Amino acid sequence: DGGITQSPKYLFRKEGQNVTLSCEQNLNHDAMYWYRQDPGQGLRLIYYSQIVNDFQKGDIAEGYSVSREKKESFPLTVTSAQKNPTAFYLCASSPYYTGELFFGEGSRLTVL
């Protein structure tokens, strides 16, 4: 079945460690996105990519990094520079230039 797969679903890390969240899609979508959600809040855009080997910062990119070496994959690294990394992270994809995003199930990161 086509869809977006995020892994891991739950992740615990010690403060100061970098962590990488995986996002893979088999929908043949051009655009991919990473959002962050804190309890009781809406989603905030971290990074997005419209084509392979290109990506742009969203509203809260500081402390995060991404790569887009393949169309299907858009991993997110939460670096030690991110001051409050504990959150729910959502990956999405869409056909180019549409607002119909398909979301993964999310990855919940807890930094101890």
CA neighbor of 64 nearest in space, from 72, 73, 56 = 56
**Structure-token match 């855009």, residue found:** 45
Q: Which tokens belong to 85?
A: 């990394």
CB of 64 to other proteins, least distance (A): 16
Q: Residues in contact with other proteins, total (CB under 8 A)?
A: 29
Residues 23 to 52: which contact other proteins by CB under 8 A?
Answer: 31, 33, 35, 40-45, 48, 50
Nearer Cβ to other proteins, position 18 or 105? 105
Pick from 21, 72, 94, 109 the residue near other proteins by CB under 8 A.
94
Q: Does the footprint of other proteins cover residue 2 (CB under 8 A)? A: no
Handedness of CA 6, 33, 25, 71 (dihedral sign): negative
Least separation, in Å, of the C-beta of 103 and other proteins?
Answer: 3
* Least distance between other proteins and beta carbon 26 (Å): 16
DSSP string, 42-79: -EEEEEEEEETTEEEE-TT-TTEEE--SBTTB--EEE-
* Rounded-to-integer distance, Cα 9 and Cα 22, Å: 10
Binding stretches for other proteins (CB under 8 A)? 4, 31, 33, 35, 40-45, 48, 50, 56, 58, 88, 90, 92, 94, 97-106, 108
